[in-house]
């Protein structure tokens, strides 16, 4: 063995030792305990929260802590996939469906099966004890670390790519079939056949005028939300030419939920009435000046005659 | 940190997910609990991958994520369909197959 080989071996051993020391110094125990407490607390909160939206947000917390735990365990690719696929796509899909199904749907606390919660808790404790005893009896030893496996092909992502497109290529191909099937299934399940023909613009117009003839409702379009040059938010009722806020200009759901007139309160610290009065005055001056400007040329024409 | 710590955390999270599936009624929350169980399994896979010093566990965790994504798409579509016909997403209301 030449001197160069010995030197290289020593350098390799030193590198391994340095890696172990860095592992100990990287603060992994701190991160582990922090993330473990956060994730378990969020998971418990998730099953105890009554509102589904709160559960979804707590699940996002659990998934983000798990992503951080993957990063701590030298799996950077999985950490990012966890954030992008789970927190980004899957949870947003959950929230989407929650919004479609109705946010206000809360679980009833009435047990339909007697003693269900008690026996569920017993099963849970029994299961975790079973798993704990199993892990305690297994000869787990110390972890070898994936530093070498990562370095073999020059990085975690390259190493995963070699495995994915080499050893696991058939599973990967099967995955593509699975994804296509899932997309097709979602389309088939979410598709709804129309039982009545879609109303055309003509039908809608005829219907509007029929309703106007029957009930006297205004057949024209509803006023748009917002106020001249000041607010254009969709929840801000428009001011009619006589200065009263029009509830028709905002979405009926928003109008039903809150008193929309109070939205004319300004951020200047005035009272609602003052702010509304000022808005009304602004609208009046604009409409009156527009009237007088329109009126003036007509007078001159009459003068010429 | 020894792999035992990570496996214990994974077991606790899996059990909490299982408890949620048993206890909750809202189908969407039940589904979220299933996702939590899948995530706990992924944590165990990553820990085993690190314990053995090879990347196979991470690949399996990646496949679990793909399958979970496909499952969520189909499951949520089913929940939407049931909600459309029954106006409810409670698992107690979908009992037609029982009789």
Per-residue pLDDT of chain A (305 residues; tens, 9 = 90+): 566 666 667 766 666 565 556 556 668 888 999 999 999 999 999 998 888 899 999 999 999 999 999 999 889 999 999 999 999 999 999 999 888 887 666 666 677 778 888 999 999 999 999 999 998 888 777 777 788 888 888 888 999 999 999 999 999 999 999 999 999 999 998 888 888 889 899 999 999 899 889 988 888 877 777 665 566 677 777 777 776 777 777 777 777 766 665 666 544 455 667 767 777 777 788 777 766 766 554 444 444 44
Domain boundary among A45, A73, A103: A103
The mean of the pLDDT values for chain B is 89
Token digits of residue A134? 């199993």
In a domain, A114, yes or no: no
Query: Chain A residues with CB inside 8 Å of B41's CB?
Result: none
State the Cα angle at A203 between A197 and A205, rounded to 5°: 150
Answer for the pair B75, B28: CB distance below 8 angstroms, yes or no.
no
Q: Are residues A233 and A288 located together in one domain of the fold?
A: yes
Q: What is the rounded distance in angstroms from the CA atom of residue A133 to the CA atom of residue A257? A: 54
- Residue A163 in domain: yes
Nearest-CB residue to B89 (from A105, A108, A146): A105
Query: What pLDDT score does B89 carry?
Result: 79
Q: Give per-residue pLDDT as tens, B47-91.
A: 999 998 889 999 999 999 999 999 999 999 988 888 888 877 788
* Residue A38 Ramachandran class (φ > 0 left, ψ -120 to 50 alpha, else beta): alpha
Which chain A residue has the Cα nearest residue B88?
A: A101
The reply to whether A21 touches chain B by the CB within 8 Å rule is no
> Nearest CA to CA, how far is B85 from chain A (Å)?
11
Among A52, A127, A189, beta carbon nearest to B26: A52
Is A213 among the domain residues? no
* Residue A230 lies inside a defined structural domain of this protein: yes
Say how many domains are in chain A: 3
Q: What is the DSSP letter of A231?
A: B
**Contact between chains at B18 and A163 (C-beta distance less than 8 A):** no
Looking at residue A289, its pLDDT comes to: 75
ipTM (interface pTM):
0.93
* The listed CATH number (3.55.40.20, 3.40.50.150, 1.10.287.3510, 3.40.50.300) that belongs to domain B3-90: 1.10.287.3510
Q: How high is the pLDDT of residue B91?
A: 80
- A103, A134, A166: which is the final residue of a domain? A103
Counted across chains A and B, CB pairs separated by less than 8 A come out at: 229
Q: Does A32 touch chain B (CB under 8 A)?
A: yes
The answer to whether residue B70 neighbours chain A at the CB level (below 8 Å) is yes
Structural domain boundaries enclosing A164: 149-190
B22 touches chain A (CB under 8 A): yes
* Chain B residues with beta carbon closer than 8 angstroms to that of A47: 16, 19-20, 23-24, 29, 33
* Distance from the A230 Cα atom to the nearest Cα atom in chain B, whole angstroms: 41
Q: Is residue A288 part of a domain?
A: yes
Task: Out of A103, A131, A165, pick the residue that ends a domain.
Answer: A103
Whether A132 is covered by a domain: the verdict is no
CA–CA dist A81, A83 (Å, integer): 5
Q: Are residues A98 and A38 in the same domain?
A: yes
* Residue B26 near residue A105 (C-beta atoms within 8 A): yes
CA dihedral A245, A248, A249, A253 (to 10 degrees): 110
Nearest Cα residue in chain A from B14: A128
The pLDDT tens digits of the residues spanning A26-70 come to 688 889 999 999 999 999 999 988 888 999 999 999 999 999 999
| Residue A18 confidence (pLDDT) | 59
User: How is residue A227 annotated by DSSP?
Assistant: B
Q: How much is the pLDDT for B12?
A: 95
Supply A257's token pair: 């939920």
Residues of chain A with Cβ-Cβ distance to B59 below 8 Å are 160, 163-164, 168
Asked if B77 contacts A184 with a C-beta cutoff of 8 angstroms, the reply is no
Query: What tens digit of pLDDT does each residue of A133-144 get?
Result: 998 888 777 777
CATH code, domain carrying A28: 1.20.120.1200
CA distance A55 to A50: 8
Q: How far is B96 from chain A (nearest CA, A)?
A: 17
- Asked, for residue A200, whether it belongs to a domain, the answer is no
- Beta bridge partner(s), residue B90: B26
Contact A256, A262 (CB under 8 A): no
Say whether both A226 and A186 belong to one domain: no
Looking at the partner chain, which of A108, A168, A190 has a beta carbon nearest the beta carbon of B59? Answer: A168
């Amino acid at each position: 063995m030449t001197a160069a080989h010995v030197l290289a071996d020593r350098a390799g051993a030193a590198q391994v030792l340095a890696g172990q020391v860095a592992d100990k110094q990287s603060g992994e125990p701190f991160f582990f305990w922090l993330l473990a407490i956060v994730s378990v607390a969020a998971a418990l909160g998730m099953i105890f929260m009554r509102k589904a939206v709160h559960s979804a947000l707590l699940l996002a917390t659990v998934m983000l802590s798990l992503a951080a735990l993957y990063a701590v365990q030298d799996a950077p690719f999985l950490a990012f996939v966890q954030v992008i696929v789970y927190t980004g796509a899957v949870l947003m899909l959950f929230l989407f469906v929650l919004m479609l199904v109705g946010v206000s749907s809360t679980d009833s606390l009435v047990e339909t099966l007697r003693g269900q919660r008690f026996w569920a808790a017993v099963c849970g404790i029994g299961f975790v004890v079973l798993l704990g005893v199993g892990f305690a009896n297994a000869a787990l030893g110390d972890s070898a670390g994936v530093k070498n496996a990562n370095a073999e092909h020059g990085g975690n992502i390259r190493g995963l790519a070699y495995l994915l497109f080499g050893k696991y290529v058939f599973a990967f191909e099967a995955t593509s079939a699975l994804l296509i099937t899932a997309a097709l299934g979602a389309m088939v399940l979410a598709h709804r056949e129309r039982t009545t023909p879609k109303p055309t613009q003509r039908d809608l117009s005829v219907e509007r005028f029929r309703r106007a003839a029957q009930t006297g409702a205004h057949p024209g379009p509803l006023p748009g939300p917002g106020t001249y040059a000041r607010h254009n938010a969709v929840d801000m009722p428009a001011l009619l030419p006589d200065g009263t806020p029009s509830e028709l200009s905002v979405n009926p759901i928003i109008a039903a939920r809150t008193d929309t007139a109070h939205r004319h309160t300004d951020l200047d610290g005035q009272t609602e009435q003052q702010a509304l009065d000022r808005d009304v005055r602004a609208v009046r001056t604009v409409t009156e000046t527009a009237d007088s400007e329109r009126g003036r040329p007509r007078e001159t024409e009459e003068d010429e005659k | 940190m020894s792999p035992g710590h990570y496996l214990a955390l994974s077991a606790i999270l899996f059990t909490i997910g299982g408890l949620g599936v048993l206890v909750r009624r809202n189908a969407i929350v039940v589904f979220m609990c299933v996702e939590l169980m899948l995530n706990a399994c992924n944590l165990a896979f990553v820990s085993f991958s690190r314990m053995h010093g090879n990347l196979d566990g991470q690949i399996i965790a990646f496949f679990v994520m793909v399958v979970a994504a496909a499952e969520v798409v189909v499951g949520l579509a089913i929940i939407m369909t049931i909600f459309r016909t029954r106006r409810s997403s409670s698992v107690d209301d979908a009992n037609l197959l029982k009789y």
